[in-house]
Amino acid sequence: MRQEASPVISLRDVHKSFRTGEVITPVLDGVSLDVRPGEFLVIFGVSGSGKTTLLNLMGAMDRADRGSIRLDGEEIVGLSRKRLTEIRRRKIGYIFQFYNLLPTLTARENVEMGLELLGLDREVIRTRAEDTLDRVGMKGMADKYPDQLSGGEQQRVAIARALAKEPGIVLADEPTGNLDEHTAAGVVRLMKELNTTTGNTFVVATHNRELAGAAHRVLRVTEGKLTV
């Protein structure tokens, strides 16, 4: 009997609250979850449901109040800032709703920026950036600046930036939230295709039902808890 692959992300009884002055607001309440290698998982929920917080905890961008979070088998709760930065840099690609492209850099330079932190050879960086832009449908547009690109094209550059590091895990926070319906549909198809061809694990926080329809599995965040 074939043994099931170990999860690339594993959460056990994770709690998270935020404090504003004397007021403590619970956001996640005892969340447990396993994400398998190569999975396309959607975390579905309305605005303010806690899905972005959950994504940030998975990506070592925030710290849990208590519970266990393991990435590739390594417990990250309690790790130093330095080690968390290294994990984010090496293992995780991020896609954001508002692209987060630097306006003074070209599409290629925006992709290269993340690679420079990996200490790669300059020629390797340039080649990988251009190859990844080609892969996401941006062939011939590497020298264009963000204000010369449509919203959908900017999001493709942001996806290329995430993938160029060759991470095992790609986390996307409302990747279609700033796009019109037609453009969003194209981004959904692209992400699903990349998940299939690259084998990257995708975890996507969204309230877009089309994205949810493309997933292998959908979990919902309701009042700080996960439901199927």
pLDDT digits (tens, 9 = 90+) for 89-142: 889 999 988 888 999 999 999 999 989 888 889 999 999 999 999 999 999 999
pLDDT digits (tens, 9 = 90+) for 210-223: 888 889 999 999 88
What is the pLDDT, as a whole number, of residue 10?
97
Domains of the chain: residue spans and CATH: 9-227 (3.40.50.300)
Average pLDDT of the residues in 186-194 = 89
Share of the chain above pLDDT 90, in %: 64
End-to-end alpha carbon distance in the chain: 27
pLDDT digits (tens, 9 = 90+) for 40-96: 999 998 888 889 999 999 999 999 999 999 999 999 999 999 999 999 988 999 998
How does DSSP classify residue 68?
A: E
Residue 2 has pLDDT above 60, yes or no: no
Q: What is the CA radius of gyration of the chain?
A: 18
Q: For the whole model, what pTM was predicted?
A: 0.90
Residue 179 has pLDDT above 90, yes or no: no
Helix (H, G, I), strand (E, B) or coil at 47: coil
What is the pLDDT, as a whole number, of residue 1?
41
d(Cα 36, Cα 8) in Å, to the nearest integer? 6
Residue 167 contacts by C-beta under 8 Å, 6 or more apart in sequence? Answer: 90, 91, 92, 93, 200
Residue 3 has pLDDT above 70, yes or no: no
What is the pLDDT, as a whole number, of residue 157?
94
d(Cα 192, Cα 169) in Å, to the nearest integer? 14
Residue 36 has pLDDT above 50, yes or no: yes
pLDDT digits (tens, 9 = 90+) for 158-174: 999 999 988 999 999 99
